[in-house]
Amino acid sequence: MATKNGIIKKTPLAEYDSTRKTGLQGIALKDDDELIEVKLTDGEDNVVMVTKEGLCITFDEKDVRPMGRVSQGVIGIKLNKDDEVIGMQSIVAGSKQTLLTITENGFGKRTELDEYRVQIRAGKGVITYKITPRTGKVIGVELVDEDDDVMLVTDTGTIIRINVSEISILGRPTQGVTLMRTNEGRVVSIEKISEEKIDEEESK
Query: Which residue range forms the structural domain that includes residue 77?
Result: 2-203
- Residue 166: which CATH number? 2.120.10.90
Count of structural domains within the chain: 1
Summarised one tens digit per residue, pLDDT across range 87-144 is: 999 998 888 899 999 999 999 999 999 999 999 999 999 999 999 999 999 999 999 9
Chain Cα centroid distance, residue 184: 25
First vs last C-alpha separation in the chain: 35
Residue 77, pLDDT > 60, answer yes
- Residue 24 is predicted with a pLDDT of 83
Residue 162: CB atoms within 10 Å? 17
Distance CA 46, CA 60 (A): 4
